[in-house]
Structure 1
Amino acid sequence: MLTQLSINNYALINQLSIDFSAGLSIITGETGAGKSILLGALGLVLGNRADLSSLKDTSRKCIVEAKVSIANYNLKDFFNEVDLDYESETIIRREILPSGKSRAFVNDTPVTLSVLNQLRTQLVDVHSQHQTMQLADNSFQFSVIDSLAKNQDRIASYRRGFQQLNHHKKELQKLIAIQKEANKQYDYNLHLFNELEEANLKIDEQELLEEKLEKLNNIEDIKLNLSEALELSVNEEIGIQNLLNTLENRLDKIAPFSTEYQELSKRVTSMKIEMDDIVTELEDANENVEFNPNEAEEINDRLQLIYNLQKKHDVNTNQELLDVLEDLSVKVSQVENAEETISSKKKEIEGISTKLDKVAALISKHRTSSAPKLTKELQFLLTDLGMKNARFSIKIKQTANYFYNGKDELEFLFSANKGGNFGELKKVASGGELSRIMLSVKKVLSEHTQLPTIIFDEIDTGVSGEVSNKIAAIMQQMSRHMQVISITHLPQIASKGAHHYKVFKKEINGMTTTNLKHLTEGERIVEIAEMLSGKDITESALIHAKELLANP
Structure 2
Amino acid sequence: MLSTLSITNYALIDSLVVGFDKGFTVITGETGAGKSILLGGLSLVLGKRADLSSLRVKNEKCIIEGLFKIDTYGLQQFFEENDLDYDINTVIRREILPSGKSRAFINDTPVTLDVLSRLGENLIDIHSQHQTIQLTENDFQLKLVDALAENQKRLAVYVKGLKTYRKAQKELEGLIEVQTTANKEQDYNSFLLTELEKAPLKEGIVEALEEEYEQLNNVELIMEQLSKGDQLFNDEQIGVLPLVTEMRQSLSKLVEFGSNYKELYQRVQSVLIELDDVNSELQRLQEGVEVNPDALKEVNGKLQLLYNLLKKHNVNEVSELISIKNELSNKLFETAHLDEKIALKTRELQDMESILEEQSVVLREKRNTVIPELQSKLKSDLTQLGMPNASFEISLSPTDTFTITGMDELLFLFTANRGGSYGELKKVASGGELSRIMLVIKAILAKYEKLPTIMFDEIDTGVSGEISNRMADIMKDMSADLQVFSITHLPQVASKGNHHFKVFKTEGAERTMTNMKKLTNDERVVELAHMLDGKDLSDSALAHAKQLLNPSLKV
TM-score, length-scaled by structure 2? 0.80
Note if contact 1:435-1:459 (Cα within 8 Å) is conserved in structure 2: yes
Note if contact 2:504-2:514 (Cα within 8 Å) is conserved in structure 1: yes
- SS of 2:401's equivalent? strand
- SS of 1:388's equivalent? coil
Deviates more, 1:373-382 or 1:296-305: 296-305
Note if contact 1:87-1:107 (Cα within 8 Å) is conserved in structure 2: no
TM-superposition CA deviations, 1:173-201 (whole Å, max 9, x none): 33333332333222122112212212344
Q: Measure, in 2, the Cα distance between the counterparts of 1:292 and 1:505.
A: 108
Note if contact 1:499-1:518 (Cα within 8 Å) is conserved in structure 2: yes
Q: Measure, in 2, the Cα distance between the counterparts of 1:105 and 1:315.
A: 50
Aligned to 1:179: 179
Aligned to 1:477: 477
Q: Structure 2 vs 1, CA of residues 307 and 528 (structure 1 numbering), >3 Å: closer, same or farther? A: closer
Aligned to 2:31: 31
Residue 427 of structure 1 and its aligned partner are, at CA, apart by 1.5
Aligned to 1:448: 448
Note if contact 2:139-2:405 (Cα within 8 Å) is conserved in structure 1: no
Aligned to 2:84: 83
Q: Measure, in 2, the Cα distance between the counterparts of 1:207 and 1:9.
A: 76
Note if contact 2:29-2:35 (Cα within 8 Å) is conserved in structure 1: yes
Deviates more, 1:509-518 or 1:32-41: 509-518
TM-superposition CA deviations, 1:401-439 (whole Å, max 9, x none): 333344443342223333444332111212121111101
Residue 444 of structure 1 and its aligned partner are, at CA, apart by 0.3
Deviates more, 1:239-248 or 1:518-527: 518-527
Q: Which amino acid aligns with 1:443?
A: A
Question: How many pairs align?
Answer: 551
TM-score, length-scaled by structure 1? 0.81
- SS of 1:410's equivalent? strand
Q: Structure 2 vs 1, CA of residues 541 and 225 (structure 1 numbering), >3 Å: closer, same or farther? A: closer
- SS of 2:441's equivalent? helix
Note if contact 1:24-1:476 (Cα within 8 Å) is conserved in structure 2: yes
Q: Structure 2 vs 1, CA of residues 357 and 260 (structure 1 numbering), >3 Å: closer, same or farther? A: farther
Q: Structure 2 vs 1, CA of residues 239 and 517 (structure 1 numbering), >3 Å: closer, same or farther? A: closer
Q: Structure 2 vs 1, CA of residues 495 and 317 (structure 1 numbering), >3 Å: closer, same or farther? A: closer
Q: Which amino acid aligns with 1:389?
A: N
- SS of 2:450's equivalent? coil
Q: Measure, in 2, the Cα distance between the counterparts of 1:204 and 1:109.
A: 55
Residue 441 of structure 1 and its aligned partner are, at CA, apart by 0.2
Q: Measure, in 2, the Cα distance between the counterparts of 1:198 and 1:220.
A: 32
Note if contact 1:79-1:86 (Cα within 8 Å) is conserved in structure 2: no
Residue 447 of structure 1 and its aligned partner are, at CA, apart by 1.2
Aligned to 2:128: 128
* 1:389 aligns to 2:389 (yes or no): yes
Aligned to 2:263: 263
Q: Which amino acid aligns with 1:186?
A: Q
Q: Measure, in 2, the Cα distance between the counterparts of 1:311 and 1:511.
A: 78
Residue 442 of structure 1 and its aligned partner are, at CA, apart by 0.8
Q: Which amino acid aligns with 1:31?
A: T
User: Aligned residues: percent identity?
Assistant: 52
Q: Measure, in 2, the Cα distance between the counterparts of 1:539 and 1:278.
A: 133
Note if contact 2:4-2:67 (Cα within 8 Å) is conserved in structure 1: yes
- SS of 1:393's equivalent? strand
The 5 A counterparts of 1:460-499 are 460-499=460-499
Deviates more, 1:375-384 or 1:114-123: 114-123
Q: Which amino acid aligns with 2:183?
A: N
- SS of 1:486's equivalent? strand
Note if contact 1:454-1:484 (Cα within 8 Å) is conserved in structure 2: yes
Any stretches of 5+ residues in structure 2 without a counterpart?
A: none
Q: Structure 2 vs 1, CA of residues 140 and 222 (structure 1 numbering), >3 Å: closer, same or farther? A: same
Any stretches of 5+ residues in structure 1 without a counterpart?
A: none
Q: Measure, in 1, the Cα distance between the counterparts of 2:505 and 2:352.
A: 62
Q: Measure, in 2, the Cα distance between the counterparts of 1:69 and 1:286.
A: 95
Note if contact 1:392-1:414 (Cα within 8 Å) is conserved in structure 2: yes
Note if contact 1:47-1:117 (Cα within 8 Å) is conserved in structure 2: yes
